Chains A and B, each alone.
Chain A
Amino acid sequence: MDINMGNGGIGVPVVRRDAMAKVLGVAQYAADFPHENTAYAALTLSKVARGRISRLDTAAAEAVAGVRMVLTHRSLNESLGDETFVMKGGHMQSSFLPLTSDEIHYAGQIVSLTIADTLEAAEEAARLVAIDYAREAASASMDDAGLTEEPADSGIDVGDAEAAFAAAEVKVDATYVTPAQHHNPIELYAASAAWQDGKLLINLPSQWVMGTRAGLAKVFGIPIEDVHVESPYVGGAFGAKASILPHVVLVAMAARRLGRPVKLVVPREAGFTVGSFRPAARSRVRLAATRQGKLTAVMHDEVGQSAVIDHVAFAGMEATSKMYASPNIRMRAATVATDVNSPGFMRAPAEAPSFFGFESAMDELAVALGIDPVELRIMNEPARDPVSGLPWSSRLLVECYRRGAALFGWSDRNPKPGSMVAADGTLIGYGCATATYPSAMAPSSARVRLSADGSCVVYCAAHDVGTGAYTVLGQVAADVLGVPDELVTVEMGHSRHPSGPVSGGSITTGSAGSAVHMAARAVRERLFATVAAGQDRSKMTLADRHVVLPDGSRRAISDIIGGLPGGVIEEHADWKPTDMDDKTMQQGLAGGMAFAGPVGGTHVSFSFGAQFAEVRIDPLLRTIRVARMVGVFACGRIINPRTARSNLMGGMIWGASSALLEESQIDRARGRFANTDLASYHFAANADVGEVVVEMLDEHDSVVNAIGTKAVGEVGIVGMPAAIANAVYHATGVRVRKTPILMEDLL
């Protein structure tokens, strides 16, 4: 089939280069790779939330025909390298690796891994592993009695917010609650491990092949070069597939002991505790303003759910503190440790919960002031970062609001709650909220090869988790080298490639893209140097597979490269963000977590957006439908409008889903997640989504990086829950300060 890929280059809406593989069903995900003589694994999980294993009997499981091994804390009995939690500088999803002791730290903890010749036998036997527990009392909810809040950091203070709040004319003081949520990518967690000559090959869905390689090398005490991590396609990740999940280590261990490839697909219900989750959070927001609407104090206290086994804090006040101009700012973050699997990064981990509260409070302030919510935000637009005093690398939030309001038809809004009613009695509500996301970056390498036929290959151990990175990184190279996009191939998702960053924090395009840009520029320089040594290279250009010389004459690339030894020009680049030192860069390129930004030495860099929602509420049954969403974003230079739009739109739908549906219910009496399947963990189905309109402003940011890109991946989610809650208030007059907003909240 033939699809016009366009001419390539930056800014062109090129059709994604992985599209055909995916629609035809031939794209290979981790569980699709065949290994000869594979054995299959199945998990057994803890039924209790805290305690110890008091009795363990694997005889019945081992008696099942075809069972080869039952790995438990007893049979593992081997010390593994001291690799640690990702947020402590390691690569593991948790400090605690199951099967390394008889301790139970959370419900659903892996207590055995059963390996058999067939999946069916492994699953049958896994159920027969008999375990008794010495159970201890557990608290899986941060609302349980007797738990204490611990400060997570030293906070942010500008001016004297308490005093300003006390003295203010108009104020809002409210607390907003968001629940635990799970990523639930449609592709299940999986791992397939094979050892050959002491080398480990592992197929798994990964957002971080370099980190996974470094971590597994440490765990198994082998050279980093002897670990190969392969993850060409990832069936959704959302932060869940970055660090090394415990089953990955156990599957690799089982494969080594059996001397045979082992494959495990983690069932959906097990994924709730084998992987991480977005922890519950509670935000108290206090805003004070003059009667004219000028903010005089901004205070945000967020308490987040953490784990006993790992301290995790995701408070989003680095972002909320920078939203609006206020002379007085006070931010505090705290955590409550609970008996759960370690929480982790999930799509806008810090920002999504924080902004639900913060942007709901802004709406409450607008109501209290009698000022239009869009205008309130515009009149408090800060010229510089109100915390550091540094300038923005770019900030077009006001322009986003102006354009968004026009697209949405905000001027039709009657501000009186409950005043807009459709002919059939349906209540209509309009709401808006600000979205933002930090533009951080990480060091990255890349290699670019240009061949005589004009074809180009980009190599980078980055990942396309659905975002379009395969396409976008190719466009960066095509743009520099002036080759048509269909001649570009991008190789990613394998640890043998030049080091790429973790695909998290919306950094891939800015980081890997900058490295590709650097490598492609090096290729171009060599091309120029080869064709015309001594001429002014700044006056030379590349177009249509020709070098255009300063005098306007053209030399075909095929002629130039064809004459070189090997018939190619290939360049490797190691790129780092401007403010990063070399040591940190090297740590990052070696598979460590190394971020720079969003606050740099000279500027502060965030993406921004204005988001609008129209809800329609059944006057009798109080069911809520999101009829329309509009989002206008300023995210720097957009390499590919087609894929960028998808990311932003997908984020908005995710945000709507979060606002109205998603909650991992915690059964407090038993200390565990209750709704651990897709029938009872609700997220948006197609029918839940109304019209979605996305626009990206043409923003030029010459500071952030050489290609001018800012974060795109996650910003689309951030304002949506508050925009919807604000619309619900507008439709009904009922202020719901928690998500999900359910029909019973409006009865």
Chain B
Amino acid sequence: MRPFLYSRATSLEQAMSEAAQSHAAIMAGGTTLVDLMRGDLTGAEHVIDIGHLPGLAKVELDGPVLRFGALARMADVAELPFLKQNYPALVESLQLAASQQIRNAATLGGNLLQRTRCVYFRDGVSDCNKRVPGSGCTALDGEDREMALFGASDRCVATYPGDWGTALAAFDTSIEISSAAGTKTVKFADFHVAYGDDPARESILQPGEIVTAILVQATPAGRHSTYVKVRDRQSYAYAVTSAAVALELDGDRVTAARVSLGGVASKPWRAPAAEAALVGQVLNQAVALEAGRAAFADAKALRHNGFKIDLGARTVARAAMVAKGKH
């Protein structure tokens, strides 16, 4: 690992000010950053540890908004009874991610900013526009089973790996960002940037900006929500495909639906076509599969990931039926 300067922030203001300097990196739990630094995948020369800052780990219902402090740990949030009951998709996305050791250390804010698992990005050797802009994308003629069907381009076909981010995309979510200039909120859909456009850039976060909270609009659809993750192993693997579905139901009829996809896109990917295919329908297996197919109508397959079009549709269908069955 390259040498770097480490400072432990004692206030948010100090952290924001130090983070505005060039080659600075914010560290919360460190599970992503330390791994990336070991692989020499960041240019970080100064690490600002905000992991111990007080007041940023609260999870609370603030009027119509669920407010998740950015430093709340995945493991803690996954155990909140209120959340388990009313937003199973969010809890499941946390429970199905990583391992207990990582969930104990990783934060909700940091989780959103984890970087792709693309082996060509991680190996530190291959041409990769994400790592060395302009060097090319090795995955285009390489191992592409894990690569994206959406939001990719001939510059980058990597997938966004997160579960929590995918689940958040199925809700009306915003991200609270703090900097010396003040605090702003951005729509979650605008927070991540599809890798295909500018592979080196993965979110709108600027130097000096820190994610301080994740805001989810309270919704009755939370109760009928689920996150289904399909992976090669029974546990502890990234999604081959995943889907979060949140429904409002009148009996068996869907009155409102939110669908998002994971493992198949370069950012948490909402699927409005699937939502449209569900709304107004009496939900059964056939309707659910139809919605799944709609979600993947515009998918662009590479050589070895075309199966994820079918599998992804089935994943959406499973999630829709499970969500319907939740009480």
Contacts and interface: CB of A to CB of B under 8 A. Distances in A.
Direct contact between the two chains A and B in their complex (CB within 8 A): yes
Interface of A: 47, 120, 123-124, 127, 269, 620-623, 625, 660-661, 665, 667, 669-670, 674-677, 679-680, 682, 684-688, 740, 742-744, 747
Interface in B216-248: 230-238, 240
Contacts of B310: 747
Contacts of B103: none
A670 B138 contact: yes
A494 B307 CA distance: 52
A743 B240 contact: yes
Contact of A675 (B143, B231, B238): B143
B230 A682 contact: no
Interface of B: 1-3, 40, 117, 119-120, 122-123, 125-126, 138, 141-143, 230-238, 240, 307, 310-311, 314-315, 317-318
Nearest to A108: B125
Contacts of A740: 232
Given A269-B123, A675-B119, A677-B122, 5 more contacts: A623-B231, A661-B232, A743-B311, A744-B307, A747-B307
A687 B96 CA distance: 12
B129 to A, nearest CB: 16
19 contacts: A124-B1, A269-B123, A620-B314, A620-B317, A622-B314, A623-B231, A625-B234, A660-B232, A667-B143, A669-B141, A669-B142, A670-B142, A674-B120, A676-B119, A679-B117, A679-B238, A682-B233, A740-B232, A743-B230
Contacts of A676: 119, 123
A683 to B, nearest CB: 9
A670 B139 CA distance: 11
A661 B233 contact: yes
Contacts of B2: 124, 127
- Top 6 closest pairs, chain A to chain B, by CB: A687-B235, A744-B307, A687-B234, A674-B143, A669-B141, A688-B234
B307 A620 contact: no
Contacts, number: 81
B119 to A, nearest CB: 5
Nearest to B228: A621
B119 A682 contact: no
Contact of B232 (A47, A127, A665, A682): A682
B142 A685 contact: no
Contacts of A687: 233-236
Contacts of B232: 660-661, 682, 740, 742-743
Given A621-B315, A669-B142, A685 B126 contact: no
B120 to A, nearest CB: 8
Contacts of B117: 679-680
Contact of A127 (B40, B120, B240, B315): B40
A746 to B, nearest CB: 10
B119 A680 contact: yes
A742 B305 CA distance: 13
Contacts of A661: 232-233
Nearest to B142: A667
A685 B237 CA distance: 9
Contacts of A682: 232-233, 237
- If over half of A's interface residues share one DSSP class (helix, strand or loop), that class is named, otherwise mixed; here it is loop
Nearest to B236: A685
Given A661-B232, A665-B143, A747 B119 contact: no
A621 B143 contact: no
Contacts of B120: 674
Contacts of B236: 685, 687
B235 A621 contact: no
B231 to A, nearest CB: 8
A745 to B, nearest CB: 9
A742 B240 CA distance: 11
A178 to B, nearest CB: 17
Contacts of B307: 743-744, 747
Q: Interface centre among A47, A269, A679, A684, by most B CB within 10 Å?
A: A679
Nearest to A742: B232
A742 B233 CA distance: 10
Contacts of B234: 625, 685, 687-688
Nearest to A743: B311
B3 A124 contact: yes
Contacts of A674: 119-120, 123, 142-143
B45 to A, nearest CB: 13
A660 B240 CA distance: 15
Contacts of B123: 269, 674, 676
A66 to B, nearest CB: 11
A621 B141 contact: no
B296 to A, nearest CB: 13
Contacts of A622: 311, 314
A56 to B, nearest CB: 17
Given A675-B119, A743-B240, A688 B233 contact: yes
Contact of B311 (A625, A688, A744): A744
Contact of A47 (B1, B125, B141, B143): B125
A238 B119 CA distance: 26
A623 B232 CA distance: 7
B235 A686 contact: yes
Nearest to B231: A623
A612 B143 CA distance: 33
A685 B235 contact: yes
A661 B231 CA distance: 11
A651 B122 CA distance: 31
Contacts of A621: 230, 311, 314-315, 318
A201 B235 CA distance: 42
A667 B146 CA distance: 14
B84 to A, nearest CB: 21
Contact of B1 (A120, A269, A743): A120
Contacts of A675: 119, 143
